[in-house]
Amino acid sequence: MRFKKRIPVTLVGGFLGAGKTTLVNRLISAGDYRYGVVVNEFGDAQVDAALIEELEDNGVAELEGGCLCCVGREDLTGVFYDLICREEPPEYILVELSGMADPVPVAQQLLTTEFRGLLELDGIVAVADAENLDVTLREAPEGLAQLAYANVVVLNKADRVDGPTLVAAERTISRLNPLAPILRATGSAVETRDVTGLQALAPDWKPSGHQLRHSGDVATFTLRAEKPLRLERWIRFHREFIIARSGDVLRAKGILQFAELDYPMLLQAVRELYSFDAHEGPHPGGSELVVIGRNLDETQYHEAFERALVS
C-alpha cells in the first residue's frame, strides 16, 4: 500500500465530565472528515450509539459517514496500523484520551520513526469545564498536563457561569498555557476548523499577537549563528536550556546545522514533547532557533548557544 500523504491526528483530552466525548461526537456528526476515532474503553467513551452502524469482530465500529471507531483497544500501535492499512483509511484520526491521561507519551509515539511517515500529529485539544475548573485543578492536579500541552483549549459549559467566573477561568488557563487559544463553548459546540488542521508542529507555526500581548511574562527571541554547531555541545545546551526548563520554555523550534552532519536538523519542542528530524526543505545555511518562554534570561541563552558552536 502506498500513502499519498500523512494522516493528521488530533489528541482530545479533558477532565472527566468536561465534555470531550461530546466534542468528539459533534466532530463526527459534522461530517467534515471521514474520521478514525480511537478510544480506550467503549463503556467509558460512550461514543454516541446513534452514530454506530456496525461493530466488527476486531473491535472496530463503523460510524455514520464512513467513519471508524476502535473501541476497547489498549495497544495504540496496533490500532493505528488497523486504521491506516484499511482499504479505505480515514482522512483524519481523533484519539480521545482518558480523563487523567498524560498526553505526552501518546503524542511522542506519533513522532517516532515508526509512524512519522504515515501519521502527522496535528495538535492537542483540551476540553475544560468552566463551572468546575478551580475545584478540578485542586482535586486532580495530574490533569494539568492536558491543559499545559494543549494547542487549543475548549472552555466548555460557558452558559452555566456568569461573566466574571468565565473570565477568571480563562485567566487560570492562560497562566497554565499562555500560547493556547481559548474557545468558549456550550455543549462542546465549536467549528471543526478551530480544533483541526492546527499543524501545531509545523516549522512555520507562530503564536498570535493577541496571545503574547495578554501574557506579559512571555517573550520570544531568536538565536542565530553562521558557524555550525558542535553536536556534543548542542546536546548539553538542549539538555540544560530546553529539556530541564520545560516548565518555562513553552516552545522552541528551529533549523540547526551541525559540523558532524551533511544535512540540517529540524527541532520542534513543546515543553517536554519534541521531535528532532532531518530537514528536507530549502535551507540558507547556518542555524536559527526561536525560543518562546516566560521569565527566561535572553542574554544567558545567547551566550550558551554561542558556546555550542564550533570554536
Three-state SS across the chain?
CCCCCCEEEEEEEECCCCCHHHHHHHHHHHCCCCEEEECCCHHHHCCCHHHEEEECCCCEEEEHHHCEEECCCCCHHHHHHHHHCCCCCCCEEEEECCCCCCHHHHHHHHCCHHHHCCEEEEEEEEEEECCCHHHHHHHCHHHHHHHHCCCEEEEECHHHCCHHHHHHHHHHHHHHCCCCCEEECCCCCCCHHHHCCCCCCCCCCCCCHHHHHCCCCEEEEEEEECCCECHHHHHHHHHHHHHCCCCCEEEEEEEECECCCCCCEEEEEECCEEEEEECCCCCCCCEEEEEEEECCCHHHHHHHHHHCECC
Residue 48 has pLDDT above 60, yes or no: no
Amino acid 53: pLDDT = 45
Residue 3 has pLDDT above 90, yes or no: no
Amino acid 1: pLDDT = 40
Lowest-confidence range among 3-7, 19-23, 216-220, 234-238?
A: 3-7
Tell which wins on pLDDT, 250 or 214: 250
Tell which wins on pLDDT, 219 or 159: 159
**pLDDT one-digit tens code per residue, 85-139:** 888 889 999 988 877 778 888 898 888 888 888 999 999 999 999 999 998 888 8
Residues of the chain with pLDDT > 70, as a percent, come to: 83
Lowest-confidence range among 24-38, 209-223, 285-299?
A: 209-223
**Between 3.30.1220.10, 3.40.50.1100, 3.10.105.10, 3.90.1580.10, what CATH number should domain 209-307 receive?**
3.30.1220.10
Amino acid 38: pLDDT = 83
Kindly state the cell numbers that stand for 51.
452514530
CA distance 205 to 225: 21
Amino acid 2: pLDDT = 43
Lowest-confidence range among 108-117, 191-200, 232-241, 261-270?
A: 108-117
pTM of the model: 0.84
Amino acid 141: pLDDT = 72
Banded model confidence at residue 16, pLDDT cuts 50, 70, 90: confident
Banded model confidence at residue 309, pLDDT cuts 50, 70, 90: very high
Q: Where in the chain is the domain with CATH 3.30.1220.10?
A: 209-307
Residues of the chain with pLDDT > 90, as a percent, come to: 47
Residue 59 has pLDDT above 90, yes or no: no
> Is beta strand 249-256 parallel, antiparallel or unpaired with respect to 273-278?
unpaired
What average pLDDT does this structure show over 238-263?
A: 92
Residue 41 has pLDDT above 90, yes or no: no
Banded model confidence at residue 63, pLDDT cuts 50, 70, 90: low
Amino acid 201: pLDDT = 84
What topology is assigned to 7-195 in CATH? Rossmann fold (3.40.50)
Q: Where in the chain is the domain with CATH 3.40.50.300?
A: 7-195
The mean pLDDT value of the chain amounts to: 84
Q: Please enumerate in sequence order all residues whose Cβ is within 8 A of that of 174, keeping only pairs 6 or more positions apart, or say none.
A: 182, 214, 215
Residue 10 has pLDDT above 90, yes or no: yes
CB atoms within 10 A of CB 159: 12
Lowest-confidence range among 104-108, 139-143, 166-170, 290-294?
A: 139-143
Contact 71, 39 (CB under 8 A): yes
